[in-house]
Structure 1
Amino acid sequence: MSLQLKATPAAGSTAQGLDAWFIGLGDDFLGRVPADSLRPGMVEGWRLRWRERELEVGVDADFPYSAARVYLVGFAREQAQPHIEKDGKLCLGSKAVPSDAVRTVQVALAEALQLLTENETRQHDEDFREDFGAYWLTWADRRDLLIEVLPDLGGARKTTLARGVRTEGRVFIFPSKDKAGKFWANLTGNAPKRLKETPLISIDPLPAPGRYPDTAAEVWELVHTRSQGGTDLLARLMANTPMEAFVVLAGIAPSGREHYSGLRIRRPLDGSGYPIKRRAIREGIERTEDPRRTLFERFEIERLPTDRLDAGSTRLPEGVQREMSAAKVVVIGCGALGSGVARMLAQAGVEHLSLVDPEKLGWENIRRHELGGRAVGHAKAEALADSIRAALPMVGFVKGYQMTFAAFAREHHESLRQADLIVSCTGEWAADASVELALRQPGHTGAAVYGWMEAHALAAHAVLVGSHGARLADGFDEDGKFRLPVVAGGKPPPPECGGASTTFGAVELAHAQGLVARLAIDSLRKLETGPVWRSWLADATAFNEAEARIAPDWVAARGDPDDGGGLFSGEWTFP
């Protein structure tokens, strides 16, 4: 009998109405879930029969302001289906209908039956590999130990001997000793005490949940049949018969997404609860057909939840991530604007940053600067580099230089020449002119993004130019005065500006940081090659509060913005 979803509910309380509706389903209704059998977090539940299967509907204490849950009773990994969790919960997108509890249940059940019907015809089987990481997490043997992987440039297509660092509850896996040392020094300030050799084995294709290994023998067979050279690394892992070791299986989803799945390998325990002795576990293996395999198969395994450490892995395509991580960027000016831009670039995946600023942080900076009170009195560039390394320890190279750009250009000429992009956020014409002079020297092929703000942060600009063609100087007169400013008039800055107060804060600054960082990222991705000029304008309320207006020349050249302000983009050209 098929389940009917249009039974008429009886009037009364939420519980009474739902009970009456379920009873109205007739023989398909199997009764209420006993209180002592309710699933965690559920306060009420009902059981149904559908196509010889048993379903369970549960609601929590927030219902009807939360969605109803639907479970497949008796679900096991051997019967794994797409979009169903380990406890049988169906992953549904249905939402609560607060005004109608019965409708909330009907919507959830309708979506559940549709999913189960589609699974019967195998419409979602590809999802096992496309979203492999989520399914591996669902069927992990334990949740108190997490594997965290920093992929190499070869990614999940490359079988390699990685290095692991074990901490309480976490195992960090790195592609090399060098990467492990840098990450750990960034994160803790110290070198890792001990590195574990950890095979990272590329397998193809990724297995469905029913083929996830439960034993070491199944791990060996999976690696043997679906990898190139993976069993050699498993054998190497067993050379010293470790008490504990780790293995990472890696693979590529149909869409190209990379997935990583971690395993813990350990010696079995003896009758007293201790790992059996090395001699005992190796006993007799030399008399077997394949001693390496025999030894490995005597170990026990646990499937562990696995995550990735690399920045930007959920935002940009895999190939773009590798391009970003290889890019070399120099940020000039680590004040309010430049500090935010530098951090955004690191968060976007840029792993090689040189930060240049001659000044120290003052108390007047902290309400709008990426650094806070603890960094006051410290060099901005060096403190910012320390902060980024600690916050994003996977970043390969972030170094601060307490000096002017001109000094950096003299003392670190080769670093400057190798830079893919220079980002200048000084807001000073002399400094920007110095950057442009360096960019035009023979051998420089990179580009530069210049960012600055106008009075009261009512407008911000980002300009991308290359080492040839249009120049930043085209938009300024010989005294460094901008030819087409946005802001006209306005209150004078407070007498103590630069001391106890500033004319703008972090909220106003955020738009400018995003404007400059986005143009820099677009340049690194070759989405923009310049010359490009982007401007952001504040809304009419901000202009009114600052007693300022839009300059007539700007309106004539770029158009009259509406009261909401917003983004303008065009070429860097002037009459």
Structure 2
Amino acid sequence: MPPDPPKLDDWFAGLGDDFLGRVPSGSLRAGMVDGWRLRWRERQLELQVDGDFPFSAARVYLNGYTRAQAQPHIEKNGKLCLGGKPVPGDCIATVRRALSEAFRLLGENETKLHDDDFREDFGLYWLNWSTKTDLIAEVLPGPEGTTRCRLVRAVQTKNQVFVLPTKADAARFWTNRTGSAPKWPKTTALIPIDPLPAPDRYPDTAADLWALVAVRSRHGTDLLARLVDNDPKEAFVVLAGRAPSGREHYAAVRLRRPLDRAGLPVKKRVLRQGLESAEDPLRTLFSRFRVERLATHRLDAASSRLPEGVQRQMAAVRVIIVGCGALGSGVARMLAQAGAEHLVLVDPDSLGWENIRRHELGASFVGHGKAKSLAAAIRAALPMIGFVEGHQKTFATFAREYPAVVEEADLIVSCTGDWAADASVEHTLARLKCRASVIYGWMEAHALASHAVLLGSQGARLSDGFDEHGNPRLPVVVDGKPPPPECAGASTTFGAVELAHAQALVVRVAVDALRGLEAPPAWHSWIADAVAFKEAEASVTSGWAAVRGQPGDMGGLFVGDWSFS
């Protein structure tokens, strides 16, 4: 029970005839422990509170709420969407705040002040009023978006239907996700409508859906007719439209044959009975199907912060990542998550137990090739991605076998962590006269400093910054605890936390280079804080401090040219 309910009872009683009494315990909403009823302009409201009240906000519900009476910012169960916070520890002040907001919202809704919200947040309202809860539609609109009516493809599981732009997209998505091609992608109609309807106009029947499409789309009913002309037992329609702000929304509907007395879909003969005498046979046929409004989400809802045009640009680039160890594996995954759709991963090594606390792959991949396993993991995690392929070989070997792939690349990212391997990458690219820019990423001892160097096909070279033994000409870190005395590097002196800065550094330079915001030669460095240096018993070299300045206690980012005099 909330604290001091008698005080709240007295406060509500002070409302006079507008107070209608307590909410019976059996009528409380899920998670609520107490409630009060009151009248506002001939409407009945309930204010209910949970066990954390008054350290949680009070909820206000509109009783008797239906879709025919739908109002902006009110959920299907009548709950008003209020933004007010509680007044911690003060029951009456928290109740006053909630009711004040509720009365203001209801008053504004009477003037239709927020009616555009039905279109602006159409997807949320459709989700709220969906009639089918055990099947969710996941839509990937594709580059055409809401521009025209078209047939798309859908693949289905027991609880999800995935709608994708083309048959090839559906096959790639399903193969990435499950490891096998889909057997029967369903032909699905995607129909732009304008304007997007308010909840009271959402279709309850196939006849409603036909009427909505007939009035608000161009040629949409032609697709509906094609969809049912072969008498499917089940079909899907996706309604699409733009909000006033330009946001795209998608809403899926499932069509199913009517049921016979045994609860089974009627036979084709029964479904078509009497159509020959109908004025519009296909419209009549369509109207006989059952309709279910599906909860609908966008598969690309997690698109990055990049503007839409830049996202398309990122999707078109071709990136080769050399080295899929601790640094390269994170770079590959982050680039994929940032929207890069075409990745080639190259690494000759297999995953070891020493890798798993800092590698994108875990124990189940130990003993397997890093590049191929990482490619499979990215495809499974991001099944809508265009192309990710792994090759278990050195970059020099890969370039000899696939020179055209190297020549067509827009960017090459080398994260081998080994001077000789990076030198081989540079030599191979020079031999092929590759025009792509290259980013070399690496970390110094204990991951106290990480670097990303962007170089073009002409001008500065990676070797400019190293002597003939592979020692950097301008290192950051000096001294420090020695690594364990062992062969083959069976353990490492850094983990995932230290690695995160290095991964983000390389990816940021890569994305900016692909966007044209960073030009070669460029050298970005991230230096750890003073505590990390102290724990590693290391310090910043005098040469770095003289040229780039002594880092502050918090470390940070340093940016300069890749030049040495």
TM-score normalised by structure 2 residue count: 0.94
Q: 1:227 aligns with which of 217, 239, 247?
A: 217
CA 1:543–1:314: 2 relative to 1, 3 Å: closer
Q: Which residue of structure 1 lines up, in the alignment, with residue 548 of structure 2?
A: 558
Q: Deviations over 1:320-344 (max 9, x none)?
A: 3322222211111000000011111
Once the two structures are overlaid, the 10-residue window that deviates more, 379-388 or 309-318, is 309-318
Structure 1 residues 114 and 485, CA gap change in structure 2 (3 angstroms)? farther
- Distance in 2 between residues matched to 1:86 and 1:63, nearest whole Å: 23
Mapping of 1:78-157 within 5 angstroms?
78-157=68-147
Whether the 8 Å contact between 1:198 and 1:248 is mirrored in structure 2 is yes
The structural deviation recorded for 1:306 is: 0.7
Amino acid at match of 2:106: L
* Aligned partner letter, 1:297: S
Measured against aligned partners, the alpha-carbon deviations of 1:421-454 in whole angstroms (never above 9, x if no partner) come to: 2111112233333434455577744322221111
Structure 1 residues 356 and 236, CA, compared in 2 at 3 Å: closer, same or farther? same
Instruction: Go from structure 1 to structure 2 and tell me whether the alpha carbon gap of 1:221 and 1:271 turns closer, same or farther (over 3 Å shift).
Output: same
In 2, distance between residues paired with 1:524 and 1:213? 45
Secondary structure in structure 2 of the residue aligned to 1:393: coil
Q: Which residues in structure 2 correspond to 1:73-472 (within 5 Å)?
A: 73-310=63-300, 312-313=302-303, 315-437=305-427, 439=429, 444-472=434-462
Amino acid at match of 2:395: F
Distance in 2 of aligned mates of 1:464 and 1:114:
56
Alignment correspondent of 2:60: 70
Distance change >3 Å, CA 92–CA 343, structure 1 → 2:
same
Counterpart CA distance in 1 for 2:118 and 2:288 is: 29
How much does 1:412 deviate? 1.3
Select 2:518's aligned residue among 521, 524, 528: 528
CA distance in 2 between counterparts of 1:439 and 1:374 reads 34
- The letter of the residue matching 1:40 is A
Rounded Cα–Cα distance in structure 1 between residues aligned with 2:301 and 2:485: 43
In structure 2, what residue type is equivalent to 1:179? D
Contact 1:216-1:299 within 8 A present in 2 as well? yes
Q: Distance in 2 between matches of 1:444 and 1:126?
A: 53
Contact persistence 2:304–2:338 (CA under 8 A): no
Tell me the distance in 2 between the aligned counterparts of 1:193 and 1:373: 32
* CA drift at 1:13: 4.0
Q: Which shifted more, 351-360 or 65-74?
A: 65-74
Alignment-mate amino acid for residue 47 of structure 1: R
C-alpha contact 1:257 1:318 (8 A) present in aligned 2: no
> CA separation of 1:30/1:525 partners in 2, compared to 1, >3 Å: closer, same or farther?
farther
The letter for the 1-side match of 2:336 is A
Tell me if structure 2 keeps the 8 A contact 1:68–1:96: yes
| Cα RMSD, aligned residues only | 2.2
Give the conservation status (yes or no) of the 8 Å contact 1:202–1:251: yes
Q: CA deviation at 1:302?
A: 0.9
Question: Could you tell me how far apart the structure 1 residues matched to 2:558 and 2:15 are?
Answer: 60
Partner of 1:480: 470
Range that drifts further, 400-409 or 423-432: 423-432
Shift of 1:314: 5.8
C-alpha contact (below 8 Å) 1:311/1:349 kept by paired residues? no
Name the CA shift for 1:481/1:205 in 2 (closer, same or farther; >3 Å). farther
Deviations for 1:14-52, whole angstroms, at most 9, x for unmatched residues?
Answer: 322221221222333222112222222222111122233
- Listed as ranges, the gaps of 5+ residues in structure 2 are none
C-alpha separation between the residues in 1 aligned to 2:166 and 2:390? 25
Provide the C-alpha distance between the structure 2 equivalents of 1:169 and 1:304, rounded to a whole number of angstroms. Answer: 11
> What is the percent sequence identity of the aligned residues?
66
Distance in 1 separating the partners of 2:434 and 2:490:
42
Task: Count how many residue pairs are aligned between Structure 1 and Structure 2.
Answer: 564
| Amino acid of the structure 1 residue aligned with 2:331 | V
CA, structure 1 residues 430+212, in 2 after alignment: closer, same or farther (shift >3 Å)?
same
> Hey, which bits of structure 1, 4+ residues long, moved more than 6 A?
none
**Greater shift in the superposed pair: 306-315 or 261-270:** 306-315
Conservation of the 8 A alpha-carbon contact between 1:157 and 1:250: no
Deviates more, 1:343-352 or 1:503-512: 343-352
